[in-house]
Amino acid sequence: MSGILDSVDSRTQLVGENRLEILTFQLHGHQQYAINVFKIQEVLPLPNLTLIPHRHPHVCGVTHLRGATIPVIDLSAAIGMRPIIPDEKCTIIVTEYNRSVQAFLVGGVSRIVNLNWEDILPPPQGSGRQNFLTAITRIDEKIVEIIDVEKVLAEISPYDTDVSDDVLDPRVMQYAHGLEILLVDDSTVAISQASETLHKIGIKVTSRSDGLQALEHLKQLADSGVNPPDKYLMLITDAEMPSMDGYRLTTEIRNDPRMKDLFIVLHTSLSGGFNKAMVEKVGCNDFLSKFQPDMLAQVVQNRIKSIKGL
């Protein structure tokens, strides 16, 4: 798999076009799994691992890579399957999620596949590993399961959803109670984390699991005479979602005069520098890296200050 992540700059052109590239791999047997290429830094043969005391059962150990020590997580065990026995045939996928770098131990890596988000579907109800999937797709007539890495990481190291006392401005917070935010994300963990933080500062939350659902919801409101920018303080959307990604969702909203003034925040675990450029391209108002409760609260407060003239 040497050179598998070359020419990343050319791949960034896919975002904003409702397209993505996924890296497919195996854990056990022939079943294919995948994660988004944009989350991946490197794909390497299994290096030497160092065991650490009191490690999480799903953490195989740590390895040293480019001057940093990173945990290596047995992805098979983490999603409820039998552990992978590390050997020379194994591969690690080095990723960056939510400002942290970690590696996932997998059985073997297959290839990168270019897809349209419309071909990415929610996992079927009742599927055995549904809790650890964000989506499924079909490649060469075979099902590929796309893993909810945010859920995997949250179970190993739970996120804190509390907001620091010194971040909250009582003068602003008195206006927060009763305001409503539309939250769009395909990860149930991400929805839960953000909702907990927003509820703690008095914000009501309506959620949808992909961009298409959110767009249909906003159109229904507009069709019924409700002005979406008046109903929602803001829309907070993930970038990567089945059916319609956050970039296309933003573009569609900006092209509809009934909702074009809706305040939109891109909330994603993808690379910060890259997303800032995409925010300008598609017309988001702000960008927020996952998951930072204090920064989320600050974005909300800044928006309240703006509309209240504080």
Q: pLDDT tens digit string along 134-181? A: 889 999 999 999 998 888 988 898 878 889 989 989 889 899 988 999
Confidence check: pLDDT of 275 > 60 = no
115 and 88 together in one domain: yes
Domain tally for the chain? 2
> Tokens 């960008």, residue?
287
Contact 229, 259 (CB under 8 A): yes
Report the pLDDT averaged over residues 117-135: 74
In a domain, 93, yes or no: yes
Going from the C-alpha of 129 to that of each of 33, 93, 125, 228, the distances in angstroms are 12, 21, 10, 36
**pLDDT tens, 10-36?**
444 555 566 788 999 999 888 999 998
- How far apart, in whole angstroms, are the C-alpha atoms of residue 44 and residue 73? 14
Phi, psi (degrees; rounded to nearest 5) at 32? -95, 140
Q: Who has greater pLDDT, 301 or 28?
A: 301
Using the 3D structure, point to which of 130, 155, 180 is the last residue of a domain: 155
Report the pLDDT averaged over residues 289-306: 91
Using the 3D structure, point to which of 122, 155, 188 is the last residue of a domain: 155
Confidence check: pLDDT of 47 > 80 = yes
Report the pLDDT averaged over residues 280-293: 84
185 and 269 together in one domain: yes
* pLDDT value, residue 97: 80
* pLDDT value, residue 2: 45
Predicted confidence band at 64 (pLDDT cuts at 50, 70, 90)?
Answer: very high
Using the 3D structure, point to which of 155, 182, 215 is the last residue of a domain: 155
In a domain, 227, yes or no: yes
Residue 140 domain boundaries: 8-155
Cα–Cα nearest to 289, from 152, 156, 100: 100
**pLDDT tens, 203-260?**
999 999 999 999 999 999 999 999 999 999 999 999 888 888 888 899 999 999 999 9
CATH number of the domain enclosing 288 = 3.40.50.2300
- How far apart, in whole angstroms, are the C-alpha atoms of residue 102 and residue 92? 10
151 and 214 together in one domain: no
- How far apart, in whole angstroms, are the C-alpha atoms of residue 211 and residue 251? 11
186 and 139 together in one domain: no
* pLDDT value, residue 273: 54
Predicted confidence band at 278 (pLDDT cuts at 50, 70, 90)?
Answer: low
Cβ count near 63 (within 10 Å): 19
214 and 121 together in one domain: no
Q: Cα–chain-centroid distance for residue 63?
A: 25
In a domain, 1, yes or no: no
Report the pLDDT averaged over residues 55-72: 91
248 and 225 together in one domain: yes
Mean residue pLDDT of the chain comes to: 86
Provide, rounded to the nearest whole percent, the portion of the chain with pLDDT above 70: 89
120 and 231 together in one domain: no
In a domain, 73, yes or no: yes
Q: What is the DSSP string of 129-174?
A: TGGGEEEEEEETTEEEEEE-HHHHHHHHSPPP-PPPTTT--HHHHT
193 and 273 together in one domain: yes
Q: Who has greater pLDDT, 189 or 77?
A: 77
| Strand ranges in the chain using DSSP code E only, listed in sequence order | 19-26, 32-36, 40-45, 59-65, 68-74, 91-97, 100-106, 108-116, 133-139, 142-147, 180-184, 204-208, 234-237, 264-268, 286-289
142 and 175 together in one domain: no
In a domain, 150, yes or no: yes
pTM: 0.78
Predicted confidence band at 124 (pLDDT cuts at 50, 70, 90)?
Answer: confident
Confidence check: pLDDT of 92 > 60 = yes
Provide, rounded to the nearest whole percent, the portion of the chain with pLDDT above 90: 50
143 and 176 together in one domain: no
